[in-house]
Amino acid sequence: MTTSADSSTALPVDNDNTAKLAEQLLSNNLKRQLSAVKKLTDTGESGILILLDFLKAAGEPSAAAGKIYQLLSTSESVTAQTFLAERFPNGVVKPVSDQGVDYQPLQTLLIAQKFEEADRLTLQKLCELAGPAAVERKWVYFTEVDSFPIVDLRTIDQLWRVYSEERFGFSKQRELWLGFNQDWNRLWEKLAWKSGNIWTRYPNEFVWDVSAPIGHLPLSNQLRGVRMMEFLLSHPAWSQ
């Protein structure tokens, strides 16, 4: 019996098509990879086995691996559930921290695509990095950013990128910022944080899914203004 995220809607098995999708999954084009992931999930057990082989061979966690995990973690496939429980019980990323900060709750939210909750938790984690005073006040001074460990910022960024199809994360915001020659007004517009002279209102006017513009999340600018954002995007984490 064919089993997938919804076995009643699984597509008929087409070996030639499945082979083409497997080849597409191994391409270097993320858009093609993500398309293959969805189609392979829909083909049932034969496609799921290909996706599991991809995870077995994967090195550094990627957006394709993140999407596979997101889809298979809610699959009815016993094979998929058994494999994930044994090999990736908490997700495809192994969060690390130089300050003992627990990033697993953030990974859990991002896997479930609960981006609004993940955004709030990201702020909380940055406050933890800044110290007890920041945790109490619930925001970060720009002068505290330089003390953030490189490892921790990269962990947060990796989690956002892997589970957002490479659309969100500090490094994505930095790429845009540098592309605009560090022009903040152009960046705010591109991120959809501002339109003309009107700032996007939190939370209802922000987009909490992957249809949002690249770099839309996390909402770093909400922490403590432009200086905070400047120090964050200039952090050595992105250049070393």
- pLDDT at position 223, please? 52
Q: Quote the pTM value.
A: 0.93
Give residue-wise pLDDT tens across range 55-87.
999 889 999 999 999 999 999 999 999 999 999
- pLDDT at position 111, please? 98
Six-digit token string for 62: 């990627």
Question: What average pLDDT does range 125-152 have in this prediction?
Answer: 95
- In Å, how far from its chain's centre is CA 58? 17
pLDDT above 70: residue 213? yes
Question: What average pLDDT does range 210-232 have in this prediction?
Answer: 87
- Domain 7-87 annotated CATH 3.90.1150.10: no
- pLDDT at position 125, please? 97
- pLDDT at position 14, please? 66
Give residue-wise pLDDT tens across range 88-119.
999 999 999 999 999 999 999 999 999 999 99
Q: Which CATH architecture has domain 114-238?
A: Orthogonal Bundle (1.10)
- pLDDT at position 15, please? 79
Q: Quick check: 68 and 55 in contact, CB under 8 A?
A: yes
Six-digit token string for 223: 């922490």
Q: How many CB atoms lie within 10 A of CB 59?
A: 6
Q: How many CB atoms lie within 10 A of CB 179?
A: 12
Give residue-wise pLDDT tens across range 169-209.
999 999 999 999 999 999 999 999 999 999 999 999 999 99
The more confident residue out of 30 and 223 is 30
Question: What average pLDDT does range 147-153 have in this prediction?
Answer: 98
CA contacts within 13 A on the Cβ side of 147 = 13
pLDDT above 80: residue 35? yes
Minimal CA–CA distance to 95: which of 147, 149, 55, 44? 149
Q: Residue 11 — very low, low, confident or very high, per pLDDT cuts 50/70/90?
A: very low
Q: For the chain, what percent of residues have pLDDT higher than 90? A: 88
Mean pLDDT of the chain: 92
Structural domain boundaries in the chain:
7-87, 114-238
DSSP 90: T
